[in-house]
Amino acid sequence: MPQMSRQDPLIEHHTVDYVPLAERHGKARDLFTLWFSTNIAPLPIVTGAMVAQVFHLNLLWGLLAIALGHLLGGVVIALASAQGPRMGIPQMVQSRGQFGRYGALLIVFFAALIYIGFFISNIVLAGKSIVGIVPSVPVPASILIGALSATAIGVIGYRFIHALNRIGTWVMGSALLAGFVYIFAHDLPADFLTRGGFNAAGWLATVSLGIIWQISFSPYTSDYSRYLPADIGITRPFIATYLGATLGTILSFAFGLVAALATPEGTEAMVAVKQATGALGPILMVLFLLNIISHNALNLYGAVLSIITSIQTFASHWTPSIKVRVVLSGIILAGCCVVALGASADFIAQFIGLILALLLVLVPWASINLIDFYVIKRGVYDIASIFQADGGVYGRFNLHAIVAYFIGILVQLPFANTSLYVGPWANLVDGADLSWLVGLAVTCPLYYCLATRKHTQNVRAVKLGYSD
């Protein structure tokens, strides 16, 4: 297996280009530590607390719904991640092999918007966390500290991100387990096991939330597996990503649920964590802050790759340098800081609502991506065509994928239940957004039928002596 030499630069020099086989390095277990550590963070803990506070499930039914949702959704992120070693390119660049060179631009735009949205939300959250730990630090300075720290990690790139998460897995995992031990070692409220109960709407809403949570990572999973050796196969990256992503999120969601039940009803989620963990609370808050910054580097990294992908679509011979990635990171940093510094008190809730609404566009993309890679092309793509100005064998636009994609979005709208739009059939199951299920059920067979029909026509044309 090729190893990185001491002469390799600290700052990653690849952007959206293909990673040559001689430069591949790392092991499948790096994917476990990346996705496990990434999900030991305040946002999934706060979301886990919602299971008791909003969906009114008790401990048993809440844990079952959390586990089922993430175990099902984890299949999507793991299948997407396992594509990286085979392809050697970022996830959004790979979309050209399904949508065509220019057809992939819309998906790339949505991905960039989601990354930037989460980056802004997380630097606001990091700023508030710093003020909570050191009240004497002004809020604007706290936001800038959080933003600059995440940007430095994102600029250094792939290897540093993986290294931090290898450390984070042990530190954050141990801290969370210590938090569980502390809570259960002390007196619990009398209604700890009985608060809430079972209700179908809350249970389905929790399962759906877990599935959507995992799908939301899929647009950039192969960005962090594309350096792995090509001969590592599919199974090992799949298992490592699946276990890391599901175990990390299940533990964090469960911790939020337990903390909410261990404190008086109505206590705000992170306040509940501090109260329930006693002397460990301040330590956990510091570790959560560091994890927010580390995780936010992934959002910046993904945003930069998406913007470079968009530009490179119109400049096929352009190979971006390290300087370009640094400059773009600086521009995104500056713009996001301006927005974050002027953010309102409920900015995070509003922005997360927008991002969750945009997940409507990710479900049909994920459906097409997985069907195309695993069922139709069986992992065999012409990498050279993906970078050609005319799209090579994939063309500028693949109408079959584009039609299936937009139909996949449209069929979700009547069932959508988001802060921006509520469809007429959104409350078939009160509180549960089941639009993702409709999107998957329609897009997968539709794209398969359209794509295989085109393939059959091409084969017939060749047999008859015609060219496509």
Domains in the chain and their CATH numbers?
A: 21-350 (1.10.4160.10)
441/213 Cα distance (integer angstroms): 18
100/79 Cα distance (integer angstroms): 21
Q: What percent of the chain has pLDDT over 90?
A: 40
203/198 Cα distance (integer angstroms): 7
DSSP class of residue 17? S
pLDDT at 381: 93
- 6 pLDDT exceeds 60? no
Q: In the structure, what pLDDT confidence band is assigned to residue 2 with cuts at 50, 70 and 90?
A: very low
Average pLDDT over residues 432-454: 88
Q: In the structure, what pLDDT confidence band is assigned to residue 156 with cuts at 50, 70 and 90?
A: confident
| Residue at token pair 């350096």 | 227
- What does the block give as tokens for 375? 């069922």
- What does the block give as tokens for 435? 């639009």
DSSP class of residue 389? T
Q: Whose CA is closest to 146, among 157, 137, 136?
A: 137
pLDDT at 455: 54
Alpha carbon 321 to its chain's center: 26
Q: In the structure, what pLDDT confidence band is assigned to residue 256 with cuts at 50, 70 and 90?
A: very high
Q: Is the CB of residue 386 less than 8 Å from the CB of residue 93?
A: yes
Q: Is the CB of residue 444 less than 8 Å from the CB of residue 452?
A: no
Q: In the structure, what pLDDT confidence band is assigned to residue 456 with cuts at 50, 70 and 90?
A: low
Q: Is the CB of residue 238 less than 8 Å from the CB of residue 31?
A: no
Cβ atoms within 10 A of the Cβ of 283, count? 13
Q: Is the CB of residue 68 less than 8 Å from the CB of residue 210?
A: yes
pLDDT (tens digit per residue) in 311-369 = 888 987 887 777 888 888 888 888 888 888 877 666 666 666 666 677 788 899 999 99
7/9 Cα distance (integer angstroms): 6
Residues whose CB falls within 8 Å of the CB of residue 176, separated by 6 or more in sequence, listed in order: 40, 251, 252, 255
275/277 Cα distance (integer angstroms): 6
Q: What percent of the chain has pLDDT over 70?
A: 91
Q: Is the CB of residue 33 less than 8 Å from the CB of residue 165?
A: yes
- 270 pLDDT exceeds 70? yes
Q: Whose CA is closest to 372, among 392, 396, 395, 401?
A: 401
Average pLDDT over residues 297-322: 85
Q: In the structure, what pLDDT confidence band is assigned to residue 1 with cuts at 50, 70 and 90?
A: very low
- 374 pLDDT exceeds 70? yes
Which of 3-17, 112-126, 172-186, 297-311 comes out lowest in average pLDDT? 3-17
Which of 39-48, 222-231, 297-306, 415-424 comes out lowest in average pLDDT? 415-424
pLDDT (tens digit per residue) in 391-433 = 999 999 999 999 999 999 999 999 888 777 888 888 777 667 7
pLDDT at 340: 83
Q: Which residue has the higher pLDDT, 459 or 134?
A: 134
DSSP class of residue 422? B
Burial degree of 307 (CB within 10 A; 0-12, 13-18, 19+)? buried
β-sheet bridge partners, residue 422 = 417
- What does the block give as tokens for 367? 């459906």
Which of 25-34, 115-124, 179-188, 355-364 comes out lowest in average pLDDT? 355-364
205/351 Cα distance (integer angstroms): 20
| Residue at token pair 């509520």 | 422
Q: In the structure, what pLDDT confidence band is assigned to residue 5 with cuts at 50, 70 and 90?
A: very low
Top mean-pLDDT range of 151-155, 173-177, 289-293 = 173-177
Average pLDDT over residues 265-277: 87
pLDDT (tens digit per residue) in 62-106 = 999 999 999 999 999 999 999 999 999 998 899 999 999 999 998
Q: Whose CA is closest to 289, among 144, 153, 132?
A: 132
Q: Which residue has the higher pLDDT, 294 or 254?
A: 254
* CA separation, residue 118 to residues 66, 91, 122, 355, 358 (Å): 22, 18, 6, 8, 12
**Mean pLDDT, the chain, as a whole number?**
86
Using the Cα atoms of residue 291, residue 296, residue 299 and residue 305 in order, give the sign of their dihedral: negative
Which of 197-201, 304-308, 412-416, 453-457 comes out lowest in average pLDDT? 453-457
* CA separation, residue 392 to residues 102, 309, 382, 385, 387 (Å): 12, 17, 8, 4, 8
pLDDT at 386: 92
Burial degree of 195 (CB within 10 A; 0-12, 13-18, 19+)? middle
